[in-house]
Chain A
Amino acid sequence: MRTLIIRRILTAVPLIVVVTGLTFVLESLVPGNTARAIVGASGSPAAYQRLRVELGLNNPLWYQYWQYFDQLLHGNLGTSVFTGEPVSTLMNQRLPVTLSLVLLATAFCAVLGVLLGVISAVRGGVIGRAVEVLSLVGLALPGFWVAIILAAVFAVSLRIFPATGYVPPSASVSRWLWALTLPVIALGLAGVASVAKQTRDSMKDTLAREYIRTLRACGIGQRSIVWKHALRNGAIPVVTVLGLVFVSALSSTVFVEAVFVLPGLGSMAVTATSQHDIPVIEGIALYFTVLVVIVNLLLDVVYGMLNPKVRRA
């Protein structure tokens, strides 16, 4: 178990090098983009050259990257080309928004998806077919479009939820939840379907196992068999899917935060892209990668907890 975790952390190092290095390589393909973006098309060649030197863009690529990585290890992610603020400050302000969204969306998928999956595994019938249809619909409807429709119906027409804006939970937990309800549904809809499908398949599989028959033969009731024994034994693939749901919800924040005008990392990534703000996009890539690494680590820990053979090994 411990070696597994250490191996995970070690493989994360090349991952972070690759992701942060990528933008450097890209920029070398189109030299001078950042300086050009700041100076503007009308800027004088002299000003452009001065800025290149100032930003260190005249140095060889490996040296630029080494400097960046060295700063990174000291917690310095550079400054936004556009606002001049430190990237880490900008991101730390926005991280809680994105994390709230993604964690709530994953929890939403876990609760609703597992519930639907278990019911359709045990009962089948109407709910089983509903899960089929929902998974097709969830796959087909693009998240940003669902977000707009939700906003149009529940915020603009019915005025039940706010259409835009974010309230930190430190200010008011209920208003925090209220503000995030629609974005969370938009982010989670596709995930609910895939969690439900996986839960159903793996529950059907475990319910046919011999130990379930043994438990039944001993008089253990249906409730304990379904919710304790079958669910516990069928949980590993469901947890895997929940990990994927987390990662894809993280990606989808790019679209959904834009629709609901939430001040998170996703909307910051969009702004940075259109402003050619490379240090910011680099920082976000780093944060997202680290989040994915952490989730994978947590998944390994959960697998260990669910599978005694791994835990005791």
Chain B
Amino acid sequence: MSEIAAVARPELPSSSRFLRRALRKPLGVISAVYLVLLTLACVLASVIAPYGPLTEDLTHVQAGPSAAHLLGTDELGRDVLSRLLYGGQLTLLGVVECVAVLLIISLPAGLAAGYLGGWVDRAISAVVDLLLSVPGIIVVLAVLTVFGTSMTAAMVTFGVLGSAGVIRVIRSAVLSVREELYVAAARVSGVSEPRIVVRHVLPRIAGPVIVQASLFAAIALAIQTGLAFLSLGVAPPAPSWGGMVGEAANLIDQDGWLLVPSGGIIALTILAFGLIGDAVRDATVEGWSATTAPAVRKLKRPAAPAAALPVSTAAADVRATDGRWSADPGQDEGTALAVRGLTVEFDGPGGPVTVVDGVSFTLRAGEVLGIVGESGCGKSVTALSLLRLLPPNGRISGGRVLLNGQDLTAVSEREIAALRGKAMAMVFQDPTVSLDPSFLVGAQVAEVVRRHDRVSRAAARRRVLELFEQVRLPDPAGVARRYPHELSGGMAQRVSLALALAGRPSVLIADEPTTALDVTVQAGILELLRQLRKETGMSIILVTHDWGVVADVCDRALVMYAGQVVEQAPVRALFRQPRHPYTLGLQECNPQRWTADGDLPVIPGTVLPPALWPVSCRFRERCRLAASDCALAAIPLEHDADNREVRCIHWHELASASSA
């Protein structure tokens, strides 16, 4: 029973609640008020219209707007406003007939198809498919051919034809509700089927149905006035909006005014139906996101004050780092890439949030540098920002990325685009989504080759095959003629590497290049990276959370926690004697070290979202060495002579413990 309680129906946007939400949309409200007033005015035309619809005043023919005739008169001196009000009766009646037929057919049919499924669904869907291909207007004309001037017949026919699309919408809405746990729970606890439909299903599909009905009303109005314009379905002297446009069109070379009120009221009314549909749709969507994501909201709310604090310790780090290495690291022989105080922020709900905070490191030529840490620590963002590939809501807000003496954060978009792939290239985590699915892989690599080398197509093709051989792809020519979906994960990652190598970069950034691959394939890719480094002499930045990969391939590693570098050391030293408690924790919970007789150790807690990172030690909450002084101030990154860095004021305790 408790399980059924647990899957209790989420707070539903009952019809009244999302109507209230819809009413908060000003355009929707204005449209609804307009339609109500218009309908009232047309229904009460005989009371409020200043003149009769057919009253002629031959002394005032085609007069423009005046006090006596607010919208002027037509060619027989009839009052335009009065004719619009009377004409609206027929027009709006047509829309009501059409929408009523639409709902009478589509509601039960859509519910039956979605809720019952099986052969009912197949039969209804077959009819729907058929109706969707019928050219509606011609069928309506055929009906009018047979039934003469019956606008009702025309509008009913149009409603029948239009129901096909709405049945489809209702069916898919019902299908999604039916699968929800609370509906299943209701069924298990013995609620009768009709009751489930009325209580649980109908409220959920009300939104889409109202949207469809109002959008269809707009189309019905256009068709009704169009037919009347063609003098089909209405007898001439009787006023109708479409007919008035037709009459105005006959006078087009004498007087354009008459087109304005008749066409205007049609356009405004269609617009009103359309805007109501939009408002209800937005309200329904908001309703769902509001009910499905309350947890996220709660987390995000305290974001603003934390983000407003001056979190960054970047400036201090930059100074410290720059002091230790040469003042202009770009000039240093043997330095492939120097990153100084790199800071990245993303737009959050409460303003910009810093996700990478003052990261500095130097990549030596031919070196493999690992960047290690849990998800959400800023490893991948750091990697992406080196090539300025951040998504549109993120930006580099501080620091420098120095490559051959050039600060990549300062060059123009055009210059960085020219450097991508050529000076520095990148390989991503999931190779199966990293290749353009619409082009042959050979053609993709050839485009990149031609971008860098400016060679003929034939030469580019030869170079593609060379690259494929370089990444040890079997049958290079055959692979070139395949699409990405025809490759295995390992092969796709080799193609990605070929793309990256096409510009002969001196730095390769590999963002978790083996994470998405099968274990057996991972080793092959790592071996390939090692070989490529040896053959080309390029430097590699390897982002990973796998200590096995670090031990296997890297010379040096950078441990990141909550956007900061917490430790940096040569790999051997890092394994022999980790200094930061986070590094130690990560290494302890490496499954490869785990022996079967104990529980796999874990670091308690999780990485906080960036908006909640404190100024002081960000790891304190999860740390075995946590003391009161950890919460006092920002923790500086300490450097020592044997090329190590650590961001912990108590690291000596750990060092003495592990050496004891």
Contact = CB atoms under 8 A, between A and B. Distances in A.
Interface of A: 11-12, 14-15, 18-19, 22-23, 26-27, 29-30, 33, 136, 139-145, 148-149, 151-152, 156, 208-222, 224, 229, 232-233, 247, 250-252, 254-255, 258-259, 269-270, 272-274, 276-278, 281-282, 284-285, 288-289, 291-293, 296, 306-309, 312
B252 A144 contact: no
B426 interface: yes
A42 B447 CA distance: 78
A273 B145 contact: yes
Contact of B253 (A26, A156, A211, A308): A156
Contacts, number: 217
A251 B137 contact: yes
Given A11-B130, A142-B270, A254-B137, 9 more contacts: A23-B146, A211-B437, A216-B420, A250-B135, A255-B229, A289-B133, A289-B135, A296-B133, A309-B483
Interface in B497-533: 499-500, 502-503
A221 B218 contact: no
Contacts of B430: 210
Secondary structure type dominating chain A contacts: helix
B134 A217 contact: no
A139 B231 contact: no
Given A26-B146, A217-B421, A211 B252 contact: no
Interface in B223-252: 225-226, 229-232, 242, 245, 248-249, 252
Contacts of A148: 245, 248-249, 252, 259, 263
Interface residues on B, range: 35 or more
Contact of B436 (A211, A258, A277): A211
B500 A218 contact: yes
B263 A142 contact: yes
A40 to B, nearest CB: 14
B133 A143 contact: no
B463 to A, nearest CB: 14
Contacts of B133: 12, 15, 289, 292-293, 296
Interface in B430-479: 430, 433-439, 444, 447-448, 451-452
A269 B485 CA distance: 49
Contact of A145 (B143, B259, B420, B503): B259
Given A142-B266, A145-B266, A274-B231, A23 B420 contact: no
Contact of A269 (B136, B138, B268): B138
B142 A285 contact: yes
A211 B435 CA distance: 5
Contacts of A219: 417-422, 448, 451-452, 503
Interface string B248-281: 1100110010010001001110110011000000
Nearest to A236: B438
A270 to B, nearest CB: 5
B271 A139 contact: yes
Contact of B145 (A220, A276, A288, A292): A276
A90 B430 CA distance: 60
Contacts of B426: 214, 217
B344 interface: no
B603 interface: no
Contact of B138 (A26, A284, A293): A284
Contacts of A258: 230
Counting chain B CB atoms within 10 Å of each CB, the highest count among A142, A216, A289, A308 belongs to A142
B88 to A, nearest CB: 15
Nearest to A209: B433
Nearest to A250: B135
Interface of B: 129-130, 133-139, 141-148, 218, 222, 225-226, 229-232, 242, 245, 248-249, 252-253, 256, 259, 263, 266-268, 270-271, 274-275, 387, 389, 391, 417-422, 425-426, 428, 430, 433-439, 444, 447-448, 451-452, 483, 485-486, 496, 499-500, 502-503
Contacts of A292: 133-135
A312 to B, nearest CB: 7
A3 B422 CA distance: 46
A93 B147 CA distance: 28
8 contacts: A11-B129, A12-B133, A211-B436, A213-B428, A247-B135, A285-B138, A292-B135, A296-B133
B212 to A, nearest CB: 15
A254 B130 contact: no
B316 to A, nearest CB: 32
Contact of B433 (A211, A270, A307): A211
A221 B142 contact: no
Nearest to A19: B134
B146 A29 contact: yes
Contact of B451 (A144, A220, A306): A220
A19 B434 contact: no
A55 B502 CA distance: 77
B257 to A, nearest CB: 11
Nearest to A222: B417
Nearest to B502: A218
Contacts of B496: 214
B438 to A, nearest CB: 5
Contact of A233 (B245, B438, B483): B438
Contacts of B142: 22-23, 26, 273, 278, 281-282, 285
A260 to B, nearest CB: 11
> Counting chain B CB atoms within 10 Å of each CB, which of A213, A217, A277, A288 scores highest?
A217
Given A30-B146, A213-B389, A219-B503, A254 B141 contact: yes
B169 to A, nearest CB: 15
Nearest to A233: B438
9 smallest CB-CB distances across A and B, nearest first, come from: A219-B421, A288-B135, A140-B271, A217-B426, A251-B137, A145-B263, A218-B421, A219-B420, A308-B483
Contacts of B218: 139-140
A299 B486 CA distance: 24
A226 to B, nearest CB: 13
A208 to B, nearest CB: 7
A218 B450 CA distance: 11
B252 A156 contact: yes
A20 to B, nearest CB: 10
Given A139-B271, A251-B135, A272-B145, A218 B451 contact: yes
Contacts of B271: 136, 139-140
A273 B355 CA distance: 68
Given A216-B420, A251-B135, A273-B232, A308 B263 contact: no
Given A139-B218, A255-B230, A214 B435 contact: yes
A79 to B, nearest CB: 16
B447 to A, nearest CB: 7
Nearest to A8: B133
Given A218-B503, A289-B135, A140 B263 contact: no
A6 to B, nearest CB: 16
Contact of B499 (A218, A222, A254, A288): A218
A254 B142 CA distance: 13
B146 A27 contact: yes
A294 to B, nearest CB: 11
